[in-house]
Structure 1
Amino acid sequence: MPADAQGPPPWARTETRADCLDYDQLRKPHYGDTHVHTALSFDAVTGGVVEGPRGAYAFAKGLPTGLPPYDAMMNPARTAQLRRPLDFTAISDHGELMGETSICLTPSHPEYSDPVCQEYRDNIPQLDGGTGAFAFFIAQYAAVPVPFRHDFCGVDGTICTDQASLVWADTQDAAEEHYDRSDACVFTTFNAYEYTRAPLASNLHRNVIFRNEKVPSLPITGVEQPQFQGLWPELQSQCIDGIAGCDVLAIPHNSNLSGGAMFVPENIDGSPHTGADAAFRARMEPLVEITQHKGDSECRPGVLSSDELCGFEKMTGVLLGVSPGSGTTYDPRLFVRNALKEGLELEEAIGANPFKMGIIASTDTHNAVPGMVNEADYGKSGHLGTRDGTPALVVASVTESPLGGMEAQGGGLAVVWAEENSRDAIFSAMRRREVYGTSGTRPTVRFFGGDYDADLCGSPDLVDTGYRRGVPMGGDLGALRKKKSPVFTVLALKDPGGASVASAPLQRVQIIKGWVNSTGSTQERVIDVAGDPDNGASVDTTTCTPSGAGFDSLCAVWEDPDFLPSQRAFYYVRVVENPMCRWSQYVCNDAGIDCALPGTIPAGMEECCNEDRPHTIQERAWTSPIFYSPESFGRFKSVIKVKGGGADTLKIKASFERAAEELAPDTEDITLSLVDDDVIYTATIPAGTMTVNKPGASWSLTDPVGAVDGIKKATLKINAKGNAKLSLSTVKTDLSKADLTDHFIHTTLEAGSYSTEHARLWEVKGTTLKPQN
């Protein structure tokens, strides 16, 4: 039980640590970075970076750090410090070349003098923005169809994997040293790494995040599993099934540079996903990184979208590290919104959505500076060490710097709604997708979908009501209002800033809807629900002084006028701030660039006057979608009566707009579970156990003894329209794990690859627990 005796969270404690004093059942936003490279990554080393995980964690906690280049006495030429520390960080150094890089930098190692190592060291530090200094080192690991190790690793590769195990162990030690296990809960670390595959330059990278200190002995890399689809079963086998208490998820990033391959709905052998494949993929990859240093991946104007704001922070190229040629075409699968739409289409066809993803953002820094996203600071620090360590390099053209330069950005932040700042709480928020991403600023954004009154924005209990009568961002919704649209509520508060942090007012709040229409094709719509896109806000780019009105907070309650209960859809929120100077404008201003005097522009700074490049930016936040499905729980009534002594009872009645195809008692096991921080109740009705009252329409199980997991009676009815009703009641049983306090209970229904969840804040009255809907 948490230290302040509030209700338990909907997750179990999997590690030994003190309960957090700062615990909030209604959750708080925690800001972090899940994509950070240090001197353990081969391409950070070529940028002259010397700080490892310990230095990066210290930086994330607010301490200053040195930046390359360094002089002979290892004094840095530059320093950096966050204006606001982070709450959590995952160091995600490349799993590939982890051992090889260490060998090449360790003079006492027998393979230190290998010619490949010598060539690698000869390029440190790299003083240009290209990729040649390290491309030869990584190519055979990441870019070829069948990866293979350098010869100095030995015939079986163990010379390098043995060294990698030492580096991986030290990475874990660093995470443990900086993780606050006290009740202060100031800072959280995660054991993590990056899976780095880019066959033919198609970026397929994933950040792999472990829940706690229980991790495999080595990262699973592209050498062991060249196909990204093979990463998930390996993580399942080696972590979830192979180590007690181990849990893990993967986060794909930079779909914008994947050549369209990131979101291909195929298995490792090229066969199309089945429902089971799609459900497994969604479980292993519940999140996607929507923006980072190498560009934004939300959407692109003209690529299945007419959204005017889709041009935000776009890279010109479509492949990793490859300068774009003329006539570049953009595959729709480069972009997250299109993947979300295709996921709905696939769910309609195969019964499960492989792209049921929540949204975060991060930096992908290769400078060991997690959270370095402030527009005024990023241009001075960069994210690539010496590769973008001068004004000319940081504003270089895409031809000169295909992984950085003018098209790059500081990246963003991952924000999680968690009860406390601990690994279990944050990981669980990621797993349930109650997260959002920002382009670097820190607005607070709540998003709920459910059954709410129109005046909810004026209620001091908005958040409490949001959780009791609906779901937050990332949640599943069914037809809980029958034929009527769910009611969506969004509340956004501007970044509070601080003494050294300027913040912009909010300009507007939008809801982005994607859906599958009656002909089976996907559609999208962008709706302004609050604020004013024509508020006249602007910024003087010569001084970076903003002007114009805006909003400190925006709130809206919205119903979808085009809602049809038969059509699956997603809804996510985009919060847009007033314009401010982009990072590059600060760099150009500091260099004294006057575009009216072309002859005075220093060599290398020409991009400052490229009118095709933006000089301002409208920072923004993207929430995880709320997913509406006809097969999800609609109306839901349940009562848990806790009388003690094994005399407790449970009753559930639920409706569904459409019965899932796999909700078939004759051929599929049906499992119902209720969980908080414990398993309150779980029951599985084996296939063929229920009596068929009417073939394909009505089934029942009646047993006064409760031989099947305590079930006294269960019924499933499906009418001619496909609407379904499910009921279940138990005999007197032991439900003592149900805490008699208001708290979250998650109810899950599963059959084959079908799974849906009802998550609400339940209310206690005496010895009874029940949800409002």
Structure 2
Amino acid sequence: MRAFAFISLAGVALAASAAVSALAVAGAIALSPSALAQELNLDSGKTPVGKREYSPYLAKGYPDRVYFGDTHLHTSYSTDAGLFGTRLGPDEAYRFARGEEVTSNTGLRVRLQRPLDFLVITDHAENLGLANMIAESNPDLLRTSFGKTVYDLVKSGKGGDAYNAWGKAMTERIDPLKGNEVLTRSMWERLTTAAETYNDPGKFTAMIGYEWSASPDGNNLHRNVIFRDDKEKANQIIPFSQYDSVDPEDLWNWMASYEQRTGGKVLAIPHNGNLSLGMMFDDVTLTAKKPIDRDYATSRMRWEPIYEVTQSKGDGEAHPALSPNDEFADFETWDKGSFGPGQHTPDMLPREYAREALKRGLKYEAELGANPFKFGLVGSTDSHTALSTSTEDNFFGKIALTEPSARPERFFEVATGRFSPDPEARQYVWQGSASGMAAVWATDNTREALWDAMARKEVYATTGTRLLVRIFAGFDFVADDVQRHDFAEYGYRMGVPMGGDLSAAPEGKAPAFLIRSLRDADGANLDRIQIVKGSMDAQGDLQEKVYDVVWSGDRQPGADGKLPPVGNTVDVEQATYTNTIGAPLLAAYWRDPEFNPSERAFYYVRVLEIPTPRWTTYDAKFFGTELPPEAPTSIQDRAYTSPVWYTPAG
């Protein structure tokens, strides 16, 4: 309308002066903006709007898009990668994540379908960069007895023996390079320099991080340490490693000292609870073996606000033995062995899986006034190839030895349980997942905005797909709100996003959720959206229930309350599927029908895609190899949002 008015005025002016020359017209167009405004009577001072601004986006401060990335990637600077054939370093890792083609460790050309938005290289702190120092004949390394020994082994073609020598020191927690911190510092500063080089705020974020690799008795208590800061602050420390301590409480103290010393910010992301043999979410502290108390609970959530629920070494959301009524709980399950000789037993499961930990956290909060397991959820790859690949059709394995090929190692290399006395404890590479990705709702693609979103838990995990999901919870939402054009703005104004808290329900009201999910633009349609609820009743018993909230097609729940499967279009021989089933978009309003305002609870959303070929199926088609008989031919990739917690009044 305003453009039309401008044209009309210009037409009148020209008609009133037919003799205007082309030069004069050009001069009129060249008038200053203020002169032109006066000519057309566009004095903004004559159009009062009070204190309101016409543009509605001037003060918008809420997250307006989701960013996909990997918070857990290893390069040749991790000794368990570099001594196992990984040649690619941080430069190649960042270039690949930004969308460039690179050559893999085994000589294959590889590229992502779409670039990542962010990447955290989390090389192991323990003897950081050892393989690179050997390759470079680092003189400082060669002046040490251990350095000379492993150097000679590698150069004589005995890399396996070099790795075993290093692994023995790791197992015994005796730093073979103790007293030579200058070596670690030089490697750490290379990594921070690479992050600074490739960080491009607004386009691609290279966050600084590393992995603290605590492995008491070979059990996985690893944490990825993520800095909000730049190289200047990160270079003031060298990474805290398991040589310093395997106790997470000591890591938290180190993190606190880092913040006090530098004014920076740091958080840690635990991972692989399914390989911790019951230690990740234990009831007692690691060293003192004391029951968890309020100080422990407060510290854990201060430093570890999110948890890596899915990655290449299996999915850690739920376990079928813990959630027998959840038909989707047995997904990419790794529950046999670990990296040491320990045996897995059923009593360990409640202290290994995210859903059970979230439930147990409710009881701790009631008893202690603090919840040690109040974490958000992300996924990542834990790839040790410097290649962050998470899709089934482009999976480059966890280590260089298992990059794509027809070699039997690609499927049958032992991944965990190697040192267990029970052969049944072994899990093989074909059982590994192409998972996963970290999805972050943030205001900008910068270190600061992404880190802040992680700290407030406004994140979700996917098993490799880039499907979109957004939720809001509150007491005053109504069904029509899910269709609002200002869905996000209204959601933030009237409720809380994933990772948020509700408390003290108004009388007669229950938590209501607005949920929207959109399929990956280059991926599979959606099967359904579910809400997983955990609660603690008046007797202190922990409960869970999975609700099908909205689904594709005209399916109806059966007599058992279960929704029929969506179907399966996977052609195993051709390793293809079609989007002729499912839906590209699902949206729902859901109010808890069994809400008790006096009971603590949490809710998270699980979104399921339709079945697609698993990476092993793609491999069998491409290389003409046979699938292991037990291998699934298809997979239903999924997303898990961070929970929303409800706390009763008082």
Band the TM-score falls in, shorter-chain normalisation: 0.7 to 0.9
Distance 1:409 1:376 in 2: 12
Distance 2:527 2:600 in 1: 30
Counterparts of residues 167-206 of structure 1 (less than 5 Å): 167-181=187-201, 185-206=202-223
Determine the structure 1 residue equivalent to 2:74.
37
Please tell me the residue identity of whatever aligns with 1:193.
Answer: Y
Residue by residue, what CA displacement relative to the aligned partner does 1:518-565 show, whole Å, maximum 9, x if unpaired?
111211111000104533333121112324421111111111111111
Counterparts of residues 99-110 of structure 1 (less than 5 Å): 100-110=130-140
Determine the structure 2 residue equivalent to 1:419.
443
Partners of 1:48 and 1:124 within 8 A in 2: no
Partners of 2:150 and 2:165 within 8 A in 1: no
Secondary structure of 1:546 counterpart: coil
Change (3 A) 1:386 1:171: same
Counterparts of residues 212-251 of structure 1 (less than 5 Å): 212-213=229-230, 214-215=233-234, 216-237=236-257, 239-244=258-263, 246-251=264-269
Please tell me the residue identity of whatever aligns with 2:303.
Answer: M
Partners of 2:377 and 2:642 within 8 A in 1: yes
Counterparts of residues 319-468 of structure 1 (less than 5 Å): 319-320=338-339, 330-370=348-388, 372-378=389-395, 381-388=396-403, 390-391=405-406, 392-396=408-412, 398=414, 405-450=429-474, 451-468=476-493
Change (3 A) 1:546 1:397: same
Determine the structure 1 residue equivalent to 2:518.
493
Change (3 A) 1:269 1:63: same
Secondary structure of 1:526 counterpart: strand
Change (3 A) 1:526 1:106: same
Deviation at 1:139, TM superposition (A): 3.8
Unpaired segments ≥5 residues, structure 1 = 10-24, 70-76, 127-131, 498-502, 594-604, 631-656, 659-773
Deviation at 1:346, TM superposition (A): 0.6
Partners of 1:299 and 1:305 within 8 A in 2: no
2:166 corresponds to 1:137: yes
Determine the structure 2 residue equivalent to 1:271.
290
**Is 226-235 or 34-43 further displaced after alignment?**
226-235
Distance 1:340 1:124 in 2: 46
2:242 corresponds to 1:208: no
Distance 1:485 1:506 in 2: 27
2:584 corresponds to 1:552: yes
Counterparts of residues 439-588 of structure 1 (less than 5 Å): 439-450=463-474, 451-497=476-522, 503-532=523-552, 533-547=564-578, 548-588=580-620
Change (3 A) 1:26 1:331: closer
Secondary structure of 2:570 counterpart: strand
Determine the structure 1 residue equivalent to 2:19.
none
Partners of 2:86 and 2:400 within 8 A in 1: yes
Please tell me the residue identity of whatever aligns with 2:412.
Answer: A
Residue by residue, what CA displacement relative to the aligned partner does 1:627-665 show, whole Å, maximum 9, x if unpaired?
1112xxxxxxxxxxxxxxxxxxxxxxxxxx21xxxxxxx
Distance 1:620 1:363 in 2: 15
Deviation at 1:120, TM superposition (A): 5.2
Distance 1:543 1:448 in 2: 40
Secondary structure of 2:242 counterpart: coil
Deviation at 1:305, TM superposition (A): 4.2
Distance 1:410 1:537 in 2: 20
Residue by residue, what CA displacement relative to the aligned partner does 1:269-297 show, whole Å, maximum 9, x if unpaired?
22222223211110100000011111111
Partners of 1:287 and 1:358 within 8 A in 2: yes
**Is 210-219 or 403-412 further displaced after alignment?**
403-412
Partners of 1:35 and 1:363 within 8 A in 2: yes
Change (3 A) 1:122 1:493: farther
* TM-score normalised according to structure 1 size: 0.70
Determine the structure 1 residue equivalent to 2:310.
291
2:148 corresponds to 1:114: yes
Secondary structure of 1:331 counterpart: helix
Change (3 A) 1:351 1:122: farther
Residue by residue, what CA displacement relative to the aligned partner does 1:673-728 show, whole Å, maximum 9, x if unpaired?
xxxxxxxxxxxxxxxxxxxxxxxxxxxxxxxxxxxxxxxxxxxxxxxxxxxxxxxx
Residue by residue, what CA displacement relative to the aligned partner does 1:176-210 show, whole Å, maximum 9, x if unpaired?
000114xxx11001110000011111100000000
Counterparts of residues 607-686 of structure 1 (less than 5 Å): 608-610=627-629, 612-630=630-648, 657-658=649-650
Determine the structure 2 residue equivalent to 1:97.
127
Partners of 1:394 and 1:404 within 8 A in 2: no
The structure whose residues are more often strand, as a share, is 1
Change (3 A) 1:525 1:405: same
Distance 2:347 2:595 in 1: 34
Determine the structure 2 residue equivalent to 1:643.
none
Deviation at 1:331, TM superposition (A): 2.3
Secondary structure of 1:540 counterpart: coil
Change (3 A) 1:37 1:397: closer
Partners of 2:76 and 2:129 within 8 A in 1: no
Partners of 1:258 and 1:320 within 8 A in 2: no
Residue by residue, what CA displacement relative to the aligned partner does 1:567-590 show, whole Å, maximum 9, x if unpaired?
111100000000010000011122
Residue by residue, what CA displacement relative to the aligned partner does 1:379-410 show, whole Å, maximum 9, x if unpaired?
xx222012445332121164798676101122
Determine the structure 1 residue equivalent to 2:88.
51
Deviation at 1:592, TM superposition (A): 2.5
Please tell me the residue identity of whatever aligns with 1:106.
Answer: E
Deviation at 1:5, TM superposition (A): 7.0
Using the aligned pairs only, state the percent identity. Answer: 36
Distance 1:504 1:217 in 2: 44
Deviation at 1:99, TM superposition (A): 5.4
Distance 2:158 2:163 in 1: 10
Deviation at 1:318, TM superposition (A): 3.6
Larger CA Rg, structure 1 vs 2? 2
Residue by residue, what CA displacement relative to the aligned partner does 1:604-628 show, whole Å, maximum 9, x if unpaired?
x5xx141x22110001000000011
Change (3 A) 1:329 1:540: farther
The structure whose residues are more often helix, as a share, is 2
Please tell me the residue identity of whatever aligns with 1:405.
Answer: V
Please tell me the residue identity of whatever aligns with 2:104.
Answer: L
Partners of 2:533 and 2:604 within 8 A in 1: yes
Secondary structure of 1:84 counterpart: coil
Residue by residue, what CA displacement relative to the aligned partner does 1:322-349 show, whole Å, maximum 9, x if unpaired?
6978x87752211111111111111111
Change (3 A) 1:609 1:104: closer
2:109 corresponds to 1:79: yes
CA RMSD of aligned residues (A): 2.3
Deviation at 1:311, TM superposition (A): 1.2
Unpaired segments ≥5 residues, structure 2 = 1-54, 419-425, 553-563
Change (3 A) 1:322 1:615: farther
Change (3 A) 1:322 1:78: farther
